[in-house]
Structure 1
Amino acid sequence: MATQPVPPESEVSAPSELPDPPDLSELDVVLDGSDDLPPGMPPGEPPDDQEGAELTLGEHLNEIRQRLTVAVLTLVLTTVITLIFASTILDYLLEPGRQALPEFRPIYTELLGFIGAYIKISLMLGLAGAMPVIVYQIYAFIHPGLTRAERKWIMPIVGLATVAFACGGAFAFFIGWPPALTFLLNFGQDIADPQVRINNYIDMLTRFVIWTGIIFELPLFLMGLGAIGLVTSRKLLGMWRWAIIGSFLLAALVTPSIDPVTQTFVAVPTMGLFVLGVALVRLVENRTVIPVIESDLDEEDDDDNDPEPQPA
């Protein structure tokens, strides 16, 4: 068999040269987002102000579940603690009735009436005791979405509102409740003996304390309206006649009795709260209360209005 001649090496076609591999360093930088990170932060870690924005819906729901669990467990714990001392607490709440009428002794006409009063007192006081933890869990959840000015002022406002509500509740129990009971228990004593159900006593006391606490929020409410420009101090002062009428109407709705003495005890402080609210609105107009908020908002507006740098 004849063999084919082998061509010389010069005539053998050389393989084509392969192209150089692409430079992936720039692509890695784009994927890592390291150009957008502050100096000193390793790639792959977002800055603090972007952590909330990167949470998925499932992560948000998981955070809600965790914070709700903490709030509920705290409420259960405080309710159990108050349930242990419910007998002492109930005896203390009944003391104004004994002072108004020495032979005062509430009754219950249902088998679960007294147990219901125990549980009701424990739940209300347990909720009051757990409220700081509940408020903190709510604040911690919404904190990433707040602006700098809102973060600076939301907790002081919540603290002032809590103090105002507590002062209103204390005023209702120690100042407004005793004369109201004295009037109600002695009004028809020469004709009929009062037989007060314990649930009725607790319900009336609870409503009186809660509504009086809400009324004590009036100065903060007026200050908020003045801060957003809905009312002015001059306009509020021009409504002083309506303020007096409204104070007595609120007192008539809130107080459990219809005697003018108890209603006056509630109406006069309400008028004082209105005057305090007008003074706070005046301070807001002079920018002596919230100048920091405005400066923070101005800085944020300046940051938003800064033109983006043009690429070279």
Structure 2
Amino acid sequence: STNLSLSIDDKFIQSIREELTDLQRRLLTFSIYDKQTSIKDLSKESALFLWFQLFKDIIFQLPKSEESKYEMIEQCRQYYHGNQEELTNIEKFAQTYTEQDSIHWYTKQCFISRLCNKALRTQDIELLYIFRYYIQDLHKRLSLEHQSFRNTELNPPILTLYRGLKLTHDDITHFQSNIDSLVLMNGFFFTTRNYDLELESALKLSKHSVNILPTLLIIQVNVQLDHVIFAKISSQINNSNEDEILFDIDCAFKIHEVYFNNKKNVWIITMSLTNENRLIAGKYIETNKREIEQG
């Protein structure tokens, strides 16, 4: 019957939408910092690595106001002009949003996370400035959740987390030539404790394109490490029993190994969470200050 075909179409549309959402979440841009370079001779990528952290520090020092919230909502309305579904989400956000809801809204994978991620991925200063209101809230909420996570996850103190990704051949080569360097994910960064789920995602993603290589990140995380922020967000997510860990926007990882696993037919990149990036950023600020003072 007609009704049946409609419901099948709806299911089909829904499955495509879910797949697109998953693809968007697994799009990753990153900056690698080559520790061999002196602060004076930074490559463009190492400079981006530093820029991202300095930007974050500046964003969090800006005052929060209702005006900045209004400006952000207006930008969202303009961007999604004519998209009734997203405009409905935007109105709901405008009416009901509080800081406590920031993680929930981010995991909804709607207008706010899409535009926020777009700004972070492209490092669009203007757009990032417009989204400062929400980025500040999400950071603050993650910081609070992180504290309770640290207090409960005492045993074992080291977590192993996974992330299935879509990477190009050039990306893989780039990682291979930067063993022991630091990589900064340009954005908030999802991982899970579920190896099978992430491996399956990596393999599924690569079917969409000949240029995409199935890649699995395996990340060791010391829960007690200082100056890094990440939190368990499974309790905040709709329709999911999955244990997801969301990292804040300036978390850096040290690259250990990059190899192809023939048995699983997937590229493996092993990394560990580090706070070395904060030291590097601090050193950079000090060097610049000295140079300015010396004129």
Bigger share in helix? 1
Larger Rg: 1
Q: Which of structures 1 and 2 has the larger relative contact order (alpha carbons within 8 angstroms, sep 6+)?
A: 2
Query: Normalized against structure 2, the TM-score is what?
Result: 0.23
Bigger share in strand? 2
Query: Normalized against structure 1, the TM-score is what?
Result: 0.22
